[in-house]
Structure 1
Amino acid sequence: MNRVLITAQIIERKALRYTPAGLPALDVVLEHESEVTEAQLPRKVKVEIRAVAMGPIAQQLNLQPVGVPLGIAGFLGAPRNGRGVLLHITELNDIV
């Protein structure tokens, strides 16, 4: 299974672009910060994640303000250059 659920905020957003097939696409950098338990000890986690959204999700994400926490679901894949990991965003939820 390849499914990611994370709360994060947009810290960088590129311009909305369109694929050769005409789908809107949006590249963003997300930031997640939390505290988790690892080996029965608390650990602070802060990570930046490169992500992409396609279609209606890209348009919706393009309207979200920078710095506002969002609930994000998606899957991990390789970026175009083949290095690292890219989060493909498939769902957005407001955090209340």
Structure 2
Amino acid sequence: MNRVLITAQIIERSALRYTPAGLPALDVVLQHESDVTEAQLPRKVKLEMKAVAIGPIAEQLNRKPVGEPLGIVGFLGAPRNGRGVLLHITELNDIV
């Protein structure tokens, strides 16, 4: 299974673009920060991750302000250049 659930905020957003099939697409950089337990020890996690949203999710994400915490669901894939990991966003949830 390839499913990611993460709370993050947009720290960088490219202009909304369109795929060759005419679907809206949005490239963003997300930032996540949390405290977790690993091997029964507390650990602070902070990371930045490249992500993409395609279709109606791209338009929805484009309306979200930079810095607003979001609940994000998606899957991991390779970016176009084939190097690294890219989060493909499939669902957004507001964090209250």
TM-score normalised according to structure 2 size: 0.99
Instruction: State the percentage of identical aligned residues.
Output: 88
Q: CA deviation at 1:13?
A: 0.1
Q: Which runs of 5+ in 2 are unaligned?
A: none
Question: Which structure 1 residue ranges, 5 or more long, are not aligned?
Answer: none
Partner of 1:70: 70
* Runs of 4+ in structure 1 over 4 Å off: none
Please give the residue correspondences for 1:13-28 in structure 2 after superposition, counting only pairs within 5 Å: 13-28=13-28
For residues 9 and 72 of structure 1, the distance between their equivalents in structure 2, rounded to whole angstroms, comes to: 9
In the TM superposition, what are the counterparts of 1:57-96 in structure 2 within 5 Å? Answer: 57-96=57-96
1:37 & 1:62 partners in 2: Cα distance? 33
Question: Using the alignment, how far apart are the partners of 1:78 and 1:72 within structure 2?
Answer: 18
1:33-87 CA-to-partner distances (Å, cap 9, x unmatched) read: 0000011110000000100000000000000000010000000000000000000
Q: Secondary structure at the match of 2:67?
A: coil
Per-residue deviation, 1:92: 0.1
SS of match in other structure, 1:9: strand
How far the C-alpha of 1:24 sits from its partner, in A, is 0.1
How many residues align? The count is 96
Partner in structure 2 of residue 31 of structure 1 = 31
Letter in 2 for 1:49: M
TM-score for the superposition, normalised by structure 1 = 0.99
